[in-house]
Structures are given as C-alpha cells and as structure tokens.
C-alpha cells in the first residue's frame, strides 16, 4: 500500500518547514485534509502571494511589499539614528517599546562562520553604505545578546567606528520586573559594572 | 510599524496548523521567505493539489485520489477480514508488518464525547454497512490502546458482535525486544493474563 501521490507530495513539502520532521509533516497533512481544507486552501494562496509580493526594502533590508518599506519612507522618523537588528521580529520588538523613532537596518541573520554566514550573508556592505551616507550620526547595535549576536555587534562596531561613526550598544543589565535571586551571575556582574548614579 | 499584509496573511494561515502558535508561525514565514522561497512555492502547489485531489475511499474511508483506493480495489486482498484502524498512519503501520492481507476501515478518529466526536463522526454507520455486506467474516479492532481507542473498540465490538460477526482485538502484551524491567506493570499483568502455552 502506498499513500496517494498528492498526499506524499504535501507531506514532503511540509517537511521543508524548519524543525518539522516526517511525523509532524504527516500530522499536519492529515489534519488539514481531514479537519481544515479551507485552511489548507488559504495557506496555499497565502504562500503564493507572499512569495510573489514580499521582497526586501532597498534601504533597511526588512520584508516589505514595496521598493522602500513604510518605516524608511516615513517623514516622521529620525534618519540620524540607525538601529541594527538581526531579524524583522527583533525590529518589531524594538518598535513595540514606542521609544525609538530612528530608522533600522535588518541583517536578516548573524555572523556564524561555522554555518557559512559571513559579512556578505548579513549584507554588511549595504549596511556600510547606508551608515556612511552622510545622514546617519549614531548606529545602535541591537543584535541579540547571544555569542553570535555579540560577535556580530563587535565586528560591525569595529568597522563602523573606524569610519568615524558613533556606535552604541543596547544596555546590558537586570531585566525590568525580575528578582535578583533568579537572575544569572553574569547579568548581575554586568549590571554592577554598568551601574548608574541615582539621580534626584 | 506594521508587517506587510502578505506576510501577516501568511503567518495567520500557518497558525492554522495544529500545535503551531504565533511565534512558530512567524518563524516558518520568515524562514520560507528568507531561505526557501522555492519550498514555499512548492508547498503552495502541494496544498492546492491535495485539497483538489484527495478524497475518502468510498469503501474504507482512507485518503485516496480515486473513488475506491488501491487497497480496496486489489484482487489479491482477502475481503473476508476487515481491520478497523483510527487513522491512515495506523493503517500504514499495519501494512508495514507485511502480515495482513485483508481489507481496512479507517475511522478517521476515535470516540471522544468531550470533543463532540460520537459514532457519526467516526462514520460508524458506514462501517456497519461495510461489515455486514455479506463478505466480511471477521472484524479485527486495531484502534489505539489508549483510553479513547479502547472505548472505541468496545463500542464497535459490542454492536458488531450483536449482529453475529466474529470480532477480535489486537493482542496486548510485552512489546517485542523489550526488557521486563522497563515495561509498565499494567502491560505485564495483561501479558500474564493472556499467557500462551509453549509449543513443541
């Protein structure tokens, strides 16, 4: 007995999703065909439309349906400050703070030599051109505080500073709302080193 | 800042997959758009084709592209024995033993009153018609050995036996290759109760 060809093809295609193995792919396929054919048709159309419409912003490299994304083309943003993040999700998190009014550059990754991801893969040449276009005065490095994110920030920071740009990094410290008892010693050490004067 | 509409639509559609939440859906969407657009296009087509082509076999209820599935229309299968399973994956597992040559009925589910899954949802009327069509002599209940699978087997078994059919259930016991030390007591108790005479 063999599964029908269209079912086999669907399972194989679902297996291309990251972290989805043979069993999960089969479960997804059975679920859609048995309980949510409407959802399957919807997903089919959404995939086709996204592939057709979504591209990278020519300025900040994030996902957009236009040549230049909404953020980059907004006249209300401060073009003098450029925040560098790894992914569009990170960009969204910074936006949700409602405290940043500058522009972004989205690396769409992080340096990871072992995975073959070097400066070219994180579009460093485009970032360099963008940061040295004359309008940018400060580059805020907001890559993740993981080993790879830190290495990426270090690499980018060194090269941008060599070109005379002001480069800053998000503050490290104790997360808001957390109890010291449950914070790791490395974070507390960092918070001690970067302690701030209490102001009136 | 808002994510592009086509990206939002894709994330929403991916969230309809079972067990996939907002974060996973976003990860899937970013991954496909950033690293595997070919895979996204492939998945789009596979979904559309599966929705169009896959239906349920008119005899055994499994997924098929035809009116009657390959197994049901094979002249080499023994129509006198009917094996009842919950899903097409279970059917595949039985087939892989290469020891069963009868036909199947796939419930596409199990009784689960709390989830609103009753006899109608597992197509009991069709199973009844199928089992009492004159050719079937034995019905093997191969639903799962979970609480719901056992309840389903019990329900189906009672009603088929009342119609004079021979009804059997897969043997419970110690799995092949396992060590008693790591088998649960309930399984060992069952294996003791169903112990078999050692033959010459």
ipTM for the predicted complex comes to 0.80
Q: In A71-122, which ranges are E strands?
A: 78-85, 102-106
Cβ pair B47:A32 closer than 8 A: yes
Judge whether A196 is closer than 8 Å to chain B, CB to CB. no
Residue B2 scores a pLDDT above 80: no
CB B60 within 8 A of CB B104: yes
CB B47 within 8 A of CB A83: no
* CA A189/CA A170 separation, integer angstroms: 16
A:B CB pairs within 8 Å: 168
* CA B8/CA A14 separation, integer angstroms: 19
**Chain B nearest CA to A21, separation (Å):** 14
Task: Supply the pLDDT for residue B1.
Answer: 63
**Chain A nearest CA to B90, separation (Å):** 12
* CA A145/CA A142 separation, integer angstroms: 8
Task: Supply the pLDDT for residue B172.
Answer: 86
* CA B86/CA B111 separation, integer angstroms: 10
Task: Supply the pLDDT for residue A2.
Answer: 73
pTM: 0.80
Residues B67-92, mean pLDDT to the nearest whole number: 94
CB A80 within 8 A of CB A135: yes
Cβ pair A10:B46 closer than 8 A: yes
- Ramachandran region, residue B144 (left: φ > 0; alpha: ψ -120 to 50; beta: rest): beta
List the Cα angle A83/A84/A87 in 5-degree steps.
120
Of the candidates A96, A146, A75, A86, which has an alpha carbon nearest to the alpha carbon of residue A121? A86
Give B157-181 pLDDT, tens digit per residue: 999 999 999 999 998 888 888 888 8
Cβ pair A71:B108 closer than 8 A: no
Residues of chain A predicted below pLDDT 50? none
Cβ pair B16:A36 closer than 8 A: yes
* CA B195/CA B199 separation, integer angstroms: 12
Judge whether B9 is closer than 8 Å to chain A, CB to CB. yes
Judge whether A14 is closer than 8 Å to chain B, CB to CB. yes
Residue B200 scores a pLDDT above 80: no
Per the DSSP assignment, residues forming a β-bridge with B140 are B83, B168
* CA B52/CA B45 separation, integer angstroms: 11
Strands B55-56, B63-64: pairing is antiparallel
Give A1-17 pLDDT, tens digit per residue: 678 899 999 999 999 99
Q: Which of A28, A29, A51 is facing B41, going by the closest CB pair? A: A51
Q: Which of B9, B54, B92 is facing A49, going by the closest CB pair? A: B9
**Chain B nearest CA to A174, separation (Å):** 25
Give B22-73 pLDDT, tens digit per residue: 999 999 999 999 999 999 999 999 999 999 999 999 999 999 999 999 999 9
Among A1-10, B107-116, B147-156, the range scoring the smallest mean pLDDT is A1-10
Cβ pair A46:B95 closer than 8 A: no
Task: Supply the pLDDT for residue B132.
Answer: 93
Using a CB-CB cut-off of 8 Å, the residues of chain A touching B101 are: none
Task: Supply the pLDDT for residue A19.
Answer: 94
Task: Supply the pLDDT for residue A178.
Answer: 85
CB atoms within 10 A of CB A29: 29
Cβ pair B1:A70 closer than 8 A: yes
Is the sign of the CA dihedral A11, B6, A128, A82 positive or negative?
negative
Residue B185 scores a pLDDT above 90: no
């Amino acid at each position: 007995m063999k599964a029908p060809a269209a079912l086999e093809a669907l399972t194989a295609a679902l297996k291309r999703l990251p972290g989805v193995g043979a069993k999960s792919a089969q479960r997804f396929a059975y679920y859609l065909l048995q309980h949510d054919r409407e959802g399957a048709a919807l997903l089919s159309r959404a995939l086709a439309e996204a592939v057709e419409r979504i591209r990278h912003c020519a300025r900040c490299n994030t996902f957009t349906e236009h040549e230049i994304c909404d953020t980059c083309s907004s006249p209300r943003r401060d073009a003098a400050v450029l925040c560098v993040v790894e992914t569009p999700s990170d960009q969204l998190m910074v936006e949700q703070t409602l405290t940043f009014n500058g522009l972004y550059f989205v690396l769409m990754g992080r340096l990871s030599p072992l995975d073959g991801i070097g400066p070219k893969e994180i579009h460093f040449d485009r970032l360099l051109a963008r940061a040295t276009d004359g309008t940018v005065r400060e580059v805020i490095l907001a890559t993740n505080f993981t080993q790879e994110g830190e290495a990426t920030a270090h690499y980018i920071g060194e090269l941008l500073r060599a070109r005379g740009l002001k480069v800053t990094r998000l503050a490290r410290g104790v997360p808001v709302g957390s109890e010291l008892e449950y914070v790791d010693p490395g974070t507390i050490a960092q918070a001690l080193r970067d302690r701030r004067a209490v102001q009136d």
